[in-house]
Amino acid sequence: MTCDRLVCANCAAPVNEGRCPVCRASRERMRQEGGLFAALSPVALVALLVLMIALAVLLQQAV
């Protein structure tokens, strides 16, 4: 999950802007827990999936 669309309950601002200490702490926690694909946006993940499927189809046709 990304913090792009999350709204802070403390200050009612987007979490990714980090306006208050609660936002900054939540944003940092999400970055640490995220893992390998946490930094990618959902659009980038879909594009990567489409690229991998296209590559698999090309490899299948080559065999």
Model-level pTM? Answer: 0.47
pLDDT in tens, 5-61: 788 888 988 888 888 999 888 888 877 776 666 667 788 889 999 999 999 999 999
Provide the terminal-to-terminal Cα distance of the chain, rounded to the nearest Å.
Answer: 37
At which residue do the structure tokens 């080559």 appear?
A: 62
Dihedral sign for Cα 55, 60, 61, 63, please: positive
